[in-house]
Structure 1
Amino acid sequence: MNNNWIFAHKTYNKEKRASIEPVFTLGNGYMCCRGFFDEEQSGILSLGGIYMAGIFGPARYTPWKGKGRELVNTPNFYSTKIFADNEAVIADEGKVSDFQIQLDMKTPKLNRSYIWTGSNGNKLRLEFERFISGSDLHTAGQKISITPIGCSPKIRIEVGINADVTNLNLVSSEPLPVQPGVKHLNLVYRDSNCILTEIHGYEDIAIAEGQKVYFKTPQNAEGLIHSTDMNCRHIFEYRGIENQSCEIEKIIYVYTSKDGEKDPLSKVKKLLEEEVSYQEKLDEHKAIWDKKWEVSDIVVEGSEEDQISIRYNILQLIQSCPEHNSKLSIGARGLTGEMYEGCIFWDTEIFMLPFFTFTNPKAAQNLLKFRYHTLPEARKHAERNWFKGAMYPWQASEKGIEQTPFGVGAYYSIHIVADIAYSIMEYWNATHDEEFITEAGAEILLETARFWESRVHKNPFSGKYDILAVRGPNEYGVIVNNNLYTNMMAQQNLILAKTLIQLMKEKYPAEWERLKDKVSFSEEEISKWDDIIENITICYNAELDLYEEDDMYLSRVPLDMKKAKPTSKRIIDSTIPYEALMLYQVTKQADVLHLMKNLHWRFTHQQKVNAWKYYVPKTCFDSSLAFSIHAVMAAQIGLQEEAYNYFKVCANFDIRNVLLNTVSGLHFANFGGTWQAVVFGFAGLQVDEYHLKISPNLPRAWKSISFHIWYCGNLLKIYVSQKSTEVYLKHTNGKDICLKVSDTEFILNESNNHIKLSINGDE
């Protein structure tokens, strides 16, 4: 296999184990397993971690509304113990050499190997392999090889399922704090092959897991296989033979009471009766992923490091997406860690959704359907706060209930309401998914528009509509009035609702009548929206031709960012207390620039340049969400070097542990942002209701990129080099595609299925 499909580490540092584990996560959207070591490690910090979509237990914090809950660390089905002459095999420094851990992203599977040297001189070569099946959500595999080197010790191997696991919910940066853990699992049943645990206190959930174990011994090896019901464990003891390997292969099955199975344990036991091999399951898994990569991959010519990091970002996005279940979504840390308790933020719609919209529209539809399923709770949330319509929470549980801890103030980040509406229309423009827009999307847009109508305040002095006491994308703005991002996205929400109502009246009149009756819509509401659209406060300085982040930003004290942030530590962790931030011109992440990325057609090129020059020096990049937006904007305004530099940070964000908090889980908004930096930034892809546009601006380090996208039922391959742009129609829905490449218009269809435009404009 080409090495640009392999992400590897070849050095071992036990102190960094916990931070490396999430980086090597495997998953399938139903469950994800961090890259912890199979062999149990005594005295070496490891968080472990196998998390399942929708499996939550009671949390230790009190949210603003509702009951606190957190992702549960579920039973460790890779649990292994190895002994050589009664000495435990532990990957401790001084005993480990020739270490290597590899994430094969093409398959995907995780391989790890090293040579262990015991205190009495025994040497073993240990090789581990695992996968989480993409072909069967309930299946995983494990393979272990043990080879004595220059010795013949007595070897004991224990493979099993361990339910004695703990939630630690590490939320701070390195160095890691010592804190007590919480155990959510109650053991109900176990034998040598199966285990049944239950979770109580938030929801009553049963988890059944089973293992089918195969031992492949060296020829002439004398051994004994026995099992213990008490520990759900198979034990193999034998006398090792020098330079001959013993292999253990294991197939794992996982079902829960939330999977539609009345008796998940019986389901698992039935599966264990089937004769299947590890290789068969691995081959089925790989075949599914080959199909996923056909559309999802981005091929970069010119930088192997960039190629690997881009594929890594894409892999992790796919692995944590619960595309099998529209009542679930992707949390800020996916299924790779416990920070934010598996809650859903704007990260999903604004950062991750575009990747799925263009590579897996069905998965994108399900992510948006999650917001439809939680629309009733959003209505309740608005009503509780004395507003109309639907108010989506900033930090949502899987049931759509606000989970922001009381007193944090993040619930003022109401821009998420408009973010969801905006993302629905972006999805519509790219798919023309009539089923979703008429059955779910239109209702969300209408109810979110109603929220903004009730949330604005008409200023008696200016006659304008203000939006008071909010927090924009700049979380260091604390609480401000008339945040530009919030106001203009709210305005756009109202415009989109109006546009969609008109579309439904014209194209889907029956569906419109049904929806109008369902939500008791009155045409008088539109006139109110028109007034707000026309008169909402937009903070703009005409003298500077500069859009202002909020109505006081330019009046605050300027800050020398080099002095305020001398190291990579966040400002609030080093120089300025959080409570004092509101006094200064400091931006945590893109705010005005993010708005200009979203609503790019509403600003001139010069206004974008002005905003860049003004806000970038005031931005401290204290968020994983910061770098990708700056990469996209820099590329779109022609700052090629800056764009590439920001891309390099976001593409390697967790790989390099930039904020020192990867231990708490991977940063999924950043993964989606990396894809946007490449496709929206360097390839210059933009979509409106009727056109697909490509305006490339490749980094000098790249010779070319190629990728596929789904667009309105058509599959396109786009190839961009330093010399030309080509578009191939790989699958058509039978309708013409209006395409604009660097301001040259084309029609793509079945008879004209390939276009090429050179950099000098020649076709």
Structure 2
Amino acid sequence: MQTSTIHPLWCIEQSHFDPQTQRHWETVFTTGNGLFCARGVFEEGYRGEERAAFMHGIFDDVPVHFTELVNLPDALELEIFLDGERFSLGQGEILAFHRWLDMRTGLLEREVHWRSPRGRTTRLHFARFISLADPHLMIIRFSVHPLDYQGEIEVRAGLNGEVDNLQFKHWDWQAQATSQQQAWLVCSTRKTNLPIALGAYLHVESHTIVERAGWDVRNHPVLVARTLASPENLISGEKIVYIYSGREAPNPQDVVQSRLAQTHAPLWEQAWSEHARAWEREWDACDVIIEGDEEAQRAVRFSIFQLLIAAPRQDEKVSIGAKTLSGYGYRGHVFWDTEIFMLPLFTYTRPEIARNLLSYRWHTLDGARRKAQRNGYKGAQYPWESAATGDEVTPTWVPHYADPTQLIRIWTGDIEIHISADIAYAIYQYWRITGDDAFMRDRGAEIILDTARFWASRAEWNPNLNRYEYTNVIGPDEYHDHVDNNAYTNYLARWHLQIALNILEWLRDHAPDRHADLIHRLELTPAELTRWQDVIHKLYCPLDPQTGLIEQFEGYFQRKDVRLADLEPRNVSIQVLFGIEGANETQAIKQPDVLMLLYLLPELFNAEVVHANYAYYTPRTDHTYGSSLGPSIQAIMACRVGRPDEAYEHFMRAARADLDNVRGNAEDGIHGASAGGVWQAVVFGFAGLQVSETGWGLKPALPSHWKRVAFKFMWHGQSICTEITPHSPPSIHQVIS
């Protein structure tokens, strides 16, 4: 079987097998199509692996975490027996190993030269893709070439329903059937009763007779093919898999059976051409070209690829979790990571996907209303962690990272409230960039207005200081909890209330019926709107006019100042080093709250304020081991203060987060926010794309060794091509559709 041509700037490679890093590579080699993703595990399995595949929207109840994305029944399973010996990298001798991901097409390949315990050598090749053109299809292609023996080759292709989520089982068996070349399996989640159906077709090509059988093992049907192979006659084949859940089809079993009945193998070439064309269209819209830095080029494409394979194209009732669909981290829950860090890539390049992601928040608005009501507030308060319904699913207690016998109280679900403004911000940015008035009228406005009601009712009047405040909160910097007047939270809340009033005026002028409907349903009385104005004018938003500094939260400047540079070298976060309470007592921060504020609302602050706060907060930020969300924003702000080479250092921290496993936790899944931040750092930082009410412009600040940056973005339905080189004005032209 021919392998694909490797293009270095599109390729992620693993040149040798190391069991100690296997779970990291499983995350890196995740493939998918926006409906489901599979971790980069070996088809035949390996001891200690974290074997998992996840599909959007398939949640089920679980202790502690409320609900979690469910590990799908295993459709990758493909075991090979070589003249009676099971092929496994856990035994025998690996003479050569090479695995690579072609990011242009989402093709994952592996080639192994293996000597068995009995001394027989075989070359095996595996390739698989999850179709972007046919979202319910996955194909595994394989070849087996004995090098110094001849004998029987047995291939076993299973559908295994006996899977779990880190030892917690979610699936109940429902039905199955097996024939000589086809098998199907139906399971349903235990609490949420979501059915899923999987079908498999095994095709094997050989120069000799192929014997076929189906083993109808309960909850684990297996297709078996046996044939002879020799150095002169290798064998090859395909495992064709279909996956449907009850969310896409009322009766997924019928759909899978129908597709199996219509399958004519081999299918790879036909399915591949459609899949490759679909990926070509994606990259035409989303690719970022960097000349002069191969590592950065690969890392940017890797970040974009990981977001594209997690992006829902056919479903507007799901969103991308913090760990995408690549691992168990955060149990598939959705955070602000999506709206603030991942969404801009889609808003600027694939607005249809951005619309789906924002529509998820509209479909879960009732969950946000329930949270506000439970907490005693008006309107809608979005949960810190969200899943299927939009109700709060942040765990209250989790085991301590250093001592699992102890529990840590998690406060983010209670008091990290800025997420409601983050969502409003993302909606407003989407509208401004796309001009999608229909979305704002029908969905976005309702979200912005009802969450504004929350902010107005949550504001606390301080009669001694004659101002409104937000006390007992957590800002983006989670090293500090139970703080008052977090600057990021207060400024975003004020912005949110003002934008809500602006949107209300826009509705009155452009959609009077919708305006009247929302005024009535959301109880936007004159008294309510007067309170909004009062909060806007009297909300405490700190800014020292003498120094230009914005205090991150009230009393922050009085906390112990720690020179982080004096603590080097280290390989743990400040919170691990000092303890949770110890870190809380210092000025060391997990991520740059204030710089994030300056980034999101640049129109509010002059250059002196930006420079002053960059200089103050940069040395106090735990850049390497704090939050993975911070380095990309730090890079953008470094560009804005004229330090592109310093920005590059922060950018590469984000770019290497998963590829180099910088924080040692990549096995839990892709850092989706970091991936989105990498794209933003290039486009909004180094390229200097800035958008305002009147249009957009470029203020480049390229690293000294970069020779060229090029990318496309969408502006009000038009595709704009940009090209930036160090010593020439940016080249910009509009693509005519």
TM-score normalised according to structure 2 size: 0.94
Question: Where do 1:478-497 residues align within 5 Å?
Answer: 478-497=481-500
Cα distance between partner residues in 2 of 1:200 and 1:159 = 23
Equivalent residue in structure 1 for 2:273, among 283, 299, 321: 283
Report if aligned partners of 1:588, 1:619 keep a CA contact under 8 Å in 2.
yes
Which residue matches 1:664? Answer: 668
Cα distance between partner residues in 2 of 1:32 and 1:567 = 35
Shift of 1:655: 0.5
**Any idea what SS the aligned residue of 2:223 has?**
strand
**Any idea what SS the aligned residue of 2:227 has?**
strand
**Any idea what SS the aligned residue of 2:479 has?**
helix
Cα distance between partner residues in 2 of 1:93 and 1:681 = 49
**Any idea what SS the aligned residue of 2:242 has?**
strand
Which residue matches 1:267? Answer: 255
Once superposed, which parts of structure 1, at least 4 consecutive aligned residues long, lie more than 6 Å away? none
**Any idea what SS the aligned residue of 1:476 has?**
coil
Which residue matches 1:153? Answer: 151
Which residue matches 1:30? Answer: 35
Counterparts in 2 of 1:456 and 1:98: CA distance versus 1, 3 Å = same
* Structure 1 residue identity aligned to 2:175: Y
Report if aligned partners of 2:434, 2:716 keep a CA contact under 8 Å in 1.
yes
Shift of 1:223: 4.4
**Any idea what SS the aligned residue of 2:730 has?**
strand
Which residue matches 1:596? Answer: 598
Which residue matches 2:309? Answer: 319
* Structure 2 residue identity aligned to 1:580: G
Which residue matches 2:547? Answer: 544
Which residue matches 2:194? Answer: 205
Report if aligned partners of 1:13, 1:93 keep a CA contact under 8 Å in 2.
no
Report whether the alignment pairs 1:304 with 2:304. no
Which deviations, in whole Å up to 9, do the C-alpha atoms of 1:107-132 show, x marking residues without a partner?
Answer: 12100111011122100111000011
Equivalent residue in structure 1 for 2:235, among 230, 243, 246: 246
Cα distance between partner residues in 2 of 1:141 and 1:135 = 13
Report whether the alignment pairs 1:422 with 2:410. no
Cα distance between partner residues in 2 of 1:530 and 1:410 = 28
Report whether the alignment pairs 1:215 with 2:204. yes
51-60 or 187-196, larger mean C-alpha shift: 187-196
Which residue matches 2:400? Answer: none
Shift of 1:479: 1.5
Question: Where do 1:228-239 residues align within 5 Å?
Answer: 228-230=215-217, 231-239=220-228
Report if aligned partners of 1:15, 1:45 keep a CA contact under 8 Å in 2.
no
Which deviations, in whole Å up to 9, do the C-alpha atoms of 1:400-458 show, x marking residues without a partner?
Answer: 01011123101211000111111111111101111110011111111111111111111
Which residue matches 1:454? Answer: 457
Question: Where do 1:604-643 residues align within 5 Å?
Answer: 604-621=606-623, 622-643=626-647
Cα distance between partner residues in 1 of 2:223 and 2:350 = 41
Report if aligned partners of 2:204, 2:210 keep a CA contact under 8 Å in 1.
no
**Any idea what SS the aligned residue of 2:439 has?**
helix
Question: Where do 1:327-726 residues align within 5 Å?
Answer: 327-406=317-396, 407-411=409-413, 412-564=415-567, 566-573=569-576, 575-621=577-623, 622-722=626-726, 723-726=728-731
Which residue matches 1:739? Answer: none
Cα distance between partner residues in 2 of 1:363 and 1:579 = 41
Report if aligned partners of 1:299, 1:307 keep a CA contact under 8 Å in 2.
yes
* Structure 2 residue identity aligned to 1:384: R
Report if aligned partners of 1:478, 1:581 keep a CA contact under 8 Å in 2.
no
Which residue matches 1:756? Answer: none
Identity %: 34
Cα distance between partner residues in 1 of 2:517 and 2:61 = 40
**Any idea what SS the aligned residue of 2:578 has?**
coil
* Structure 1 residue identity aligned to 2:734: L
Report if aligned partners of 2:145, 2:234 keep a CA contact under 8 Å in 1.
yes
Which residue matches 1:188? Answer: 174
Cα distance between partner residues in 2 of 1:348 and 1:365 = 12
Equivalent residue in structure 2 for 1:731, among 716, 732, 736: 736
**Any idea what SS the aligned residue of 2:553 has?**
coil
Cα distance between partner residues in 1 of 2:93 and 2:621 = 45
Shift of 1:654: 0.4
Shift of 1:517: 2.4
5+ residue gaps in structure 1? 63-67, 169-180, 733-763
Which deviations, in whole Å up to 9, do the C-alpha atoms of 1:533-554 show, x marking residues without a partner?
Answer: 1211122233322111011100
5+ residue gaps in structure 2? 397-408
Which deviations, in whole Å up to 9, do the C-alpha atoms of 1:440-495 show, x marking residues without a partner?
Answer: 11111111111111111111111011110000010001120000000000000011
Shift of 1:565: 5.8
Shift of 1:260: 3.0
Cα distance between partner residues in 2 of 1:496 and 1:93 = 63
Counterparts in 2 of 1:93 and 1:81: CA distance versus 1, 3 Å = closer
Cα distance between partner residues in 2 of 1:598 and 1:619 = 18
Which residue matches 1:127? Answer: 125
**Any idea what SS the aligned residue of 2:282 has?**
helix
**Any idea what SS the aligned residue of 2:711 has?**
strand
**Any idea what SS the aligned residue of 1:312 has?**
helix
Cα distance between partner residues in 2 of 1:213 and 1:237 = 12
Cα distance between partner residues in 2 of 1:630 and 1:403 = 30
**Any idea what SS the aligned residue of 1:479 has?**
coil
Cα distance between partner residues in 1 of 2:609 and 2:717 = 35
Report if aligned partners of 1:141, 1:282 keep a CA contact under 8 Å in 2.
no
Which residue matches 1:737? Answer: none
**Any idea what SS the aligned residue of 1:227 has?**
strand
Which residue matches 1:227? Answer: 214
**Any idea what SS the aligned residue of 2:427 has?**
helix
Shift of 1:33: 0.4
Cα distance between partner residues in 1 of 2:210 and 2:469 = 78
Report whether the alignment pairs 1:143 with 2:141. yes
**Any idea what SS the aligned residue of 2:518 has?**
helix
Report if aligned partners of 1:191, 1:229 keep a CA contact under 8 Å in 2.
yes
Shift of 1:564: 4.5
Report if aligned partners of 2:479, 2:575 keep a CA contact under 8 Å in 1.
no
Counterparts in 2 of 1:202 and 1:566: CA distance versus 1, 3 Å = farther
**Any idea what SS the aligned residue of 1:724 has?**
coil
**Any idea what SS the aligned residue of 2:344 has?**
helix
**Any idea what SS the aligned residue of 1:477 has?**
coil
Shift of 1:85: 2.8
Count of aligned positions = 709
Cα distance between partner residues in 2 of 1:6 and 1:634 = 29
Report if aligned partners of 1:323, 1:367 keep a CA contact under 8 Å in 2.
no
Shift of 1:153: 3.5
Question: Where do 1:23-62 residues align within 5 Å?
Answer: 23-41=28-46, 44-61=47-64
* Structure 2 residue identity aligned to 1:225: R
How much is the aligned-residue C-alpha RMSD, in angstroms? 1.5
Which residue matches 1:178? Answer: none
Shift of 1:570: 1.8
Which deviations, in whole Å up to 9, do the C-alpha atoms of 1:710-758 show, x marking residues without a partner?
Answer: 11111111111112211111137xxxxxxxxxxxxxxxxxxxxxxxxxx
* Structure 1 residue identity aligned to 2:580: Y
**Any idea what SS the aligned residue of 1:39 has?**
coil
Which deviations, in whole Å up to 9, do the C-alpha atoms of 1:522-574 show, x marking residues without a partner?
Answer: 2333322222112111222333221110111001111121344641212232x
Which deviations, in whole Å up to 9, do the C-alpha atoms of 1:612-659 show, x marking residues without a partner?
Answer: 111111111311111111011111221111111111111121011111
Which residue matches 2:401? Answer: none
